Amino acid sequence: MVTPAARLEAARFGATEAEWADWRWQLRHALTGAEELSRHVPLTDAERRGLALADGQARVAVTPYYASLIDPAHPSCPVRIQAIPAPEEAERSAGDLRDPLGEDVRRPVRAIVHRYPDRALLLATDRCAVYCRHCTRRRLTLAGEGALSRSDLADAIAYLRAHRGIREVIVSGGDPLVLDDARIDEILSALRGVPHVRILRVATRAPVVCPMRVDASLAALFRRHAPLFVLTHFNHPKECTDAARAACETLVDAGVPVENQTVLLRGVNSSARILQDLFERMLEWRVRPYYLHQGDVALGTGHLRTPLDAGIAILEALRGTTSGLAIPHLAVDLPGGGGKVTLQPGYVVGPDGAGRGTWLRNSRGERYLYPDAPGRDCTCPYEAVYYASRDGGTSTEESA
């Protein structure tokens, strides 16, 4: 259903109601340069320089829907900062890497990144509806590798079949939801044909930047391939529109769990107040706040990264002031491919000098003694019996 506000925005962008609600129209009419953007947003001199410097270095595209969320009066609007390049993107900060997560050396075939023993990433496309200015894979989107071909998919499936330890595949890119339902179904069906792949995830920003992409048909498609989780990417409460909520609830109502991964961005959401608002809204939509990501050290993103202690301070501020359900893990993807680690405030003060236990503190700084357990042997006597019975005497390592 197109709301009155959406009708006004559609008219502002020269679209009919039907066109505005059509995700294909949104992709075809994405704003890709200064001339198109300036028709709808009064660009600052810095933004014009940023767009000129990005030409040939990083893709720019903003769906009309996402552009409609930009506050035209404020250059610090969190939507425009995420969508319109700044001149600082052309600068290199200390530690910046072209491939910050060390993915390219872990691509055994074109479409697969295999970093963890039990998980693999399937790169379904190099395109996105909106190219985020903090993107960690801009090297791929700029390279123009194109969508996953059937030959690429066959190679990926052959690799997965040969590596029986892989039980989970994340379909990403680019954004796989720029593909049509038939192609997505073809990819997911191929993955479901690998017996040991038990869990699927689809990583997409469509609910945020092009929510009309998520309809009952897509939700039903995802449900057919359960267990399947959708990972989306809201960064600011300004992105939490009625249309975005409808997209998330369409998935959840169909039995498709949705989890959110927020990237901590300096000057955009680097505030406990902003993030508490965002995470509590996510919970109201039945979307789990999963990760708060420290920015990856991707080339051209240094101006958006926060110090590590800023994220820890935000978690400290959230703890005790909102539900634990609304507090995600603060994750750092280690530069060069070391994998994710999670950070949190230090609540362990230290051992009690009298050997009685360990002093802990709460979010208010109050100290409490947790007594030592009377025993230290944590062996589970039934463990071997249970797994021998369940697995027929074959260990997990052997079966992998």
Residue in the block written with tokens 């009377």: 374
Indicate which residue of 119, 183, 286, 319 is catalytic. Answer: 119
How far apart CA 6 and CA 314 sit, in angstroms, is: 34
Whether 340 is catalytic is: yes
How far apart CA 257 and CA 103 sit, in angstroms, is: 27
Whether 333 is catalytic is: yes
Indicate which residue of 99, 175, 277, 333 is catalytic. Answer: 333
Residues 6+ apart with CB under 8 A from 227: 198, 199, 200
Is the Cα dihedral 59, 126, 244, 229 positive or negative?
A: negative
Indicate which residue of 65, 80, 127, 132 is catalytic. Answer: 132
Structure tokens at 241: 């529109």
Instruction: Tell me if 58 sits within 8 A of 261, measured CB to CB.
Output: no
Whether 116 is catalytic is: yes
Indicate which residue of 135, 210, 240, 248 is catalytic. Answer: 135
Structure tokens at 353: 């000098």
Structure tokens at 249: 């609830």
Indicate which residue of 116, 161, 181, 387 is catalytic. Answer: 116
Tell me the HSE value of 316 on the side-chain side, using a 13 A CA sphere.
Answer: 14
Whether 135 is catalytic is: yes
Indicate which residue of 319, 340, 361, 387 is catalytic. Answer: 340
Burial track 74-104 (b if 16+ CB lie within 10 A, e otherwise): ebebbbbbbbbbbbbbbeeeeebbebbbbbe
Indicate which residue of 77, 128, 240, 248 is catalytic. Answer: 128
Indicate which residue of 7, 106, 110, 115 is catalytic. Answer: 115
CA dihedral 208, 212, 218, 220 (to 10 degrees): 100
Whether 296 is catalytic is: yes
Whether 71 is catalytic is: no
Closest CA to 128 of 23, 248, 21: 23
Q: Tell the burial category of 271 from Cβ atoms under 10 Å away from its Cβ (0-12, 13-18, 19+).
A: middle
Number of Cβ atoms within 10 Å of the Cβ of 64:
24
Longest dimension (CA), the chain: 75
Residues 6+ apart with CB under 8 A from 285: 240, 245, 248, 249, 252, 258
CA dihedral 61, 67, 73, 74 (to 10 degrees): -60
Q: Tell the burial category of 144 from Cβ atoms under 10 Å away from its Cβ (0-12, 13-18, 19+).
A: exposed
Catalytic positions? 115-116, 119, 128, 132, 135, 137, 296, 333, 340
